[in-house]
Amino acid sequence: MAGVARRLLRRGLGVAAGPPSTRQLREAEEAAPVFQYAGKVARRKDRVFVWGFSYSGALGVPSFVRPDAGWKKPRRIQATPYRLETEEKISSAACGYGFTLLASNTRDITKVWGMGLNKDSQLGFQRSRRDQTKGYEYVLEPSPIPLPLEKPQQTRVLQVSCGRAHSLVLTDHEGVFTMGNNSYGQCGRKVVEDEVYSGSHLIHQLKEFDSRVVQVVCGQDHSLFRTKKGTVYACGWGADGQTGLGHYNITSVPTKLHGDIAGVNIIQVSSYGDCCLAVSDEGDVFGWGNSEYLQLASVTETTQVNIPRHLPFKIGKVKEAACGGTGNVVLTEEGNVFVWGYGILGKGPNLIETAVPEMIPPSLFGWSDFSPDIRVAHVRCGLSQFAALTNRGELFVWGKNLRGCLGTGRMEDQYFPWRVTVPGEVVDVACGVDHMVSLVRSFT
């Protein structure tokens, strides 16, 4: 009996317990299942991140303004980048004064989405669900903007731009669509007295330019159009000379600019406040508009310049320029960033104003002996803040931190370029007055 029991134990349950030998461990390891999280053809995903002041609805997250659960509190300021879920891949974004436009270059019917303030119909007509005749004044989540396209399934939207209360949409074959406030003719149509802009269905189409429009830029109350031939057209308010047409009146039809840029092939125009900058293909910078903050003081003592003037800066060939409310920034071919104007310019608290461009040391953008090939690739301007994108996809911001628009997580102003941690490689960024939108690609 005992012998049978012992034999059973040895056969069935008599496995030697104790620490597993190396061979057993190795076999267990080889037998373990292999998990696959990403295949060889895994694509990098495109994402949109927003941050800044949320009560205007410009961030596109309704739960910040109207929380969906009772215990949640409304979030007035989103201080760090927050991911915005969108249905389509967004190729272009623009921030206005309290509203945002997102555009995708698809061939689908819905190409442009808008969110934020809509008191002047800058986001088109958003039909209210409660009252079918009225429109929404605040749009809290990205809502499609219906554009009166002739061929909606062929035309693509290339770029969008937003000003204080108007917006411009650039398409590839059907010209430019404008909507919003037109009290100064910034939408490119005749000013109608006592026009009510709120809840307006009117979207104007502009087609008469000497060649195809390739870039649209909105200033505060004026619009600039750059065509393929390198000419610049402007319309809108001109009291600071920002239309550059030689007078200080309102222009309601896009008119060609002359002055120092006549005959020059302009490759980029920029404006956000009342000052405008243009960059030619040879790397020269031209400016016009407001100069109260020494933006154009290198050529003139007057505070308004109403005709484009060449700015004789000896900083090298300029690749890109960006205009803010009181300060300007340019990027040269070598990758150096120069700032001038008034306000927090990015060289510490001591530099408040300068008429001559000052370079920001590249070591502040991550350049060092260890990584010498870091260069700034793009520069952007909001009303009182600046943003720079490096070739590694890092975003640096500096300037006045109005309602958390810098995205650093702190509410203090930033006197020198500071990295914003975005979980992805930043491809483009749009700066507004108190919020920012960035287009990001994920890492893997």
Partner 1 sequence: LNAAPGRAPRQQIRFLPAPAPGGGGAVELVAARVPVLADHPLVRGPRFRKLKIGAGHRLDVKASGVFVLGIGHGNKLLTDLYNCHLAKVYTVGGRFGKATDDFSDTGNLIEKTTFDHITREKLERILAVIQGTNQKALLMYSNIDMKTQEAYELAVKGLIRPMGKSPPIITAVRCLQFALPEFQLEIHCLHETQQYLRKMVHEIGLELKSSAVCTQVRRIRDGVFSVDDALPRTQWNLQSIQEAIRNCQLKVEAELEKTLG
Report if residue 46 touches partner 1, rule: CB under 8 A: no
**Amino acid identity, position 154:** Q
Report if residue 443 touches partner 1, rule: CB under 8 A: yes
By beta-carbon proximity to partner 1, the closer residue of 4 and 31 is 31
Quote the CA–CA distance of 385 and 252 in Å, as a whole number. Answer: 30
Which region, judged by CB under 8 A, interacts with partner 1, from 26-34, 172-180, 247-255, 264-272? Answer: 26-34
Report if residue 65 touches partner 1, rule: CB under 8 A: no
**Amino acid identity, position 97:** Y
Nearest C-alpha neighbor of 224 from the set 279, 173, 172? 279
By beta-carbon proximity to partner 1, the closer residue of 313 and 415 is 415
Among 74, 359, 368, 411, interactor with partner 1 by CB under 8 A? 368
Quote the CA–CA distance of 349 and 292 in Å, as a whole number. Answer: 21
- Which parts of 289-328 interact with partner 1 (CB under 8 A)? none
Binding to partner 1 by CB under 8 A, coded x per residue (else -) over 384-423, reads --------xxx-----------------xxxxx-xx-x--
Among 263, 312, 349, 372, interactor with partner 1 by CB under 8 A? 349
> What are the phi and psi torsion angles at 397 (to 5°)?
-130, 155
Which region, judged by CB under 8 A, interacts with partner 1, from 120-128, 194-202, 318-326, 365-373? Answer: 365-373
Among 16, 370, 372, 373, interactor with partner 1 by CB under 8 A? 370
Tokens of 16: 């030697």
Report if residue 43 touches partner 1, rule: CB under 8 A: no
Which region, judged by CB under 8 A, interacts with partner 1, from 34-42, 60-68, 118-126, 247-255? Answer: 34-42
Quote the CA–CA distance of 188 and 184 in Å, as a whole number. Answer: 9
Contacts of 50 (CB under 8 A, 6+ apart): 58, 59, 60, 61, 78, 81, 82, 84, 100, 435, 436, 437, 438
Contacts of 242 (CB under 8 A, 6+ apart): 219, 220, 222, 234, 236, 271, 274, 275, 276, 288, 289, 290
Report if residue 71 touches partner 1, rule: CB under 8 A: no
CA dihedral 401, 393, 428, 367 (to 10 degrees): 60
Which region, judged by CB under 8 A, interacts with partner 1, from 90-98, 115-123, 143-151, 364-372? Answer: 364-372
Report if residue 425 touches partner 1, rule: CB under 8 A: yes
Helix (H), strand (E), coil (C) string for 106-172: CCCCCCEEEEEECCCCECECCECCCCCCCECCEEEEEEECCCCCCCCCCCCEEEEEECCCEEEEEEC
CB of 235 to partner 1, least distance (A): 41
Report if residue 336 touches partner 1, rule: CB under 8 A: no
Report if residue 359 touches partner 1, rule: CB under 8 A: no
Among 1, 4, 15, 34, interactor with partner 1 by CB under 8 A? 34
Give the CA radius of gyration of the chain: 27
CB of 425 to partner 1, least distance (A): 7
Which region, judged by CB under 8 A, interacts with partner 1, from 25-33, 137-145, 229-237, 381-389? Answer: 25-33
CB of 80 to partner 1, least distance (A): 12
Among 38, 73, 150, 373, interactor with partner 1 by CB under 8 A? 38
Longest CA–CA span in the chain (Å) reads 117
Nearest C-alpha neighbor of 42 from the set 390, 395, 441, 440? 441
Report if residue 371 touches partner 1, rule: CB under 8 A: yes
Report if residue 338 touches partner 1, rule: CB under 8 A: no
Q: Can you tell me whether residue 261 is helix, strand or coil? A: helix
Among 33, 70, 263, 372, interactor with partner 1 by CB under 8 A? 33
Quote the CA–CA distance of 325 and 317 in Å, as a whole number. Answer: 24
What burial class does residue 328 get, using C-beta atoms within 10 Å of its C-beta: 0-12 exposed, 13-18 middle, 19+ buried? buried
How many chain residues touch partner 1 (CB under 8 A)? 38
Contact residues: partner 1, CB under 8 A:
28-29, 32-42, 347-350, 361, 363-364, 366, 368, 370-371, 392-394, 412-416, 418-419, 421, 425, 443-444
